[in-house]
């Protein structure tokens, strides 16, 4: 297994390099620049700003310098957040996004997977149709619609009641300020996990080894838990890999609506302001997490499915 992980990590290096290269040149090719604004900047000041951030050099030379800085762990200074480096901004925003993301994914697992199993065990029943109907609604209703609805209900409709919840802000990570963002983040994952678990569980229950276990007289609960569930969780783990990476780096929509100082909101503001280094830093972090989580998923396959070999 260690050799397999080592090979995957070696393959990840050129993959990450390709992502960095494409994003770097796409950012430079986009119209506008980090110092463009409503009020025009005098040419002398603009020239000094471009020289200070090495934007007056040829693009290829900028690229080589950026790669060299990355090799030393330096993401560079932010063009818009004065006196802050990209590393400092990520260090501020990532813990907030990670806390909400981990809470959302745990909530999604503890709700979506059991309901998916229940729907599979009661296939084509009223409970199956009800669960899948709610799950489909959770998939088709986007978060930028669900979030304002929940704010209207819990922040305005239930005002001055024990059930009132804040409409936004972080306030040091207080629990009541995290309930609505975490719930909104988890809704679509609850829906997807329920549907994926149901489909994979139905398929697993029809496998020959499951039929053999039932024919030997094993209790149905034991057949489900010890034989069918492990195989059924393979597609779930596949979905969770990139899903966890996405949630750890923050949701741009949720963090913007609820005014959370997470990394997703930094990404949005960086893209709007043409803050090249900030957008690149968040992109590199997201890509690294996705690559890492995919490696973890491949390793977990071996524990869930005995047919998987790493040789």
Residue spans per domain, the chain: 96-262
What's the alpha-carbon Rg for the chain, to the nearest Å? 24
**Per-residue confidence in pLDDT tens, the chain, 311 aa:** 778 888 888 988 999 999 999 999 988 887 777 777 656 667 777 788 778 777 888 889 989 999 998 988 889 888 888 788 899 988 988 898 899 999 999 999 999 999 999 999 998 999 999 999 999 988 888 888 888 999 999 989 888 888 888 888 888 878 888 999 999 999 999 999 999 999 999 998 888 888 888 888 888 888 888 888 888 888 999 999 888 888 888 777 888 888 888 888 888 888 888 888 888 999 999 999 999 998 888 888 878 777 777 66
User: Which of 131, 237, 257, 278 has its CA nearest to residue 185?
Assistant: 257
Domain 96-262 has CATH 1.10.3720.10: yes
Q: Work out whether the CA dihedral 170, 174, 176, 182 comes out positive or negative.
A: positive
Compute φ and ψ for 136, nearest 5 degrees. -65, -35
């Amino acid at each position: 297994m260690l050799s397999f992980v080592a090979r995957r990590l070696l393959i990840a290096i050129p993959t990450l390099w390709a992502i960095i290269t494409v994003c770097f040149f796409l950012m430079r090719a986009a119209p506008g620049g980090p110092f463009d604004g409503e009020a025009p900047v005098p040419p002398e000041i603009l020239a000094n700003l471009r020289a200070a951030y090495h934007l007056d050099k040829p693009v290829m030379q900028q690229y080589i310098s950026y790669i060299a800085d990355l090799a030393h762990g330096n993401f560079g200074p932010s063009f818009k957040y004065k006196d802050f480096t990209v590393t400092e901004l990520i260090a501020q925003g990532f813990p907030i996004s990670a806390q909400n993301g981990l809470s959302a994914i745990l909530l999604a697992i503890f709700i979506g997977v059991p309901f998916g199993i229940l729907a599979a065990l009661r296939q084509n029943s009223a409970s199956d149709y009800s669960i899948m109907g709610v799950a489909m609604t959770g998939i088709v209703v986007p978060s930028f619609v669900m979030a304002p609805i929940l704010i209207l209900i819990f922040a305005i409709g239930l005002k001055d009641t024990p059930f009132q919840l804040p409409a936004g802000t972080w306030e040091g990570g207080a629990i009541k300020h995290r309930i609505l963002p975490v719930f909104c983040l988890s809704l679509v994952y609850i829906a997807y996990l329920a549907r994926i678990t149901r489909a994979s569980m139905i398929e697993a229950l029809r496998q020959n080894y499951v039929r053999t276990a039932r024919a030997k007289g094993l209790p149905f609960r034991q057949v489900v838990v010890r034989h069918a569930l492990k195989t059924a969780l393979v597609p779930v783990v596949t979905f969770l890999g990139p899903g966890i990476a996405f949630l750890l780096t923050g949701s741009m929509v949720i963090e913007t609506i609820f005014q959370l100082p997470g990394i997703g909101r930094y990404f949005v503001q960086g893209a709007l302001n043409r803050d090249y280094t900030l957008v690149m830093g968040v992109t590199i972090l997201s890509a690294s997490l996705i690559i890492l989580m995919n490696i973890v998923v491949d390793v977990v396959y071996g524990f869930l499915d005995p047919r998987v070999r790493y040789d």
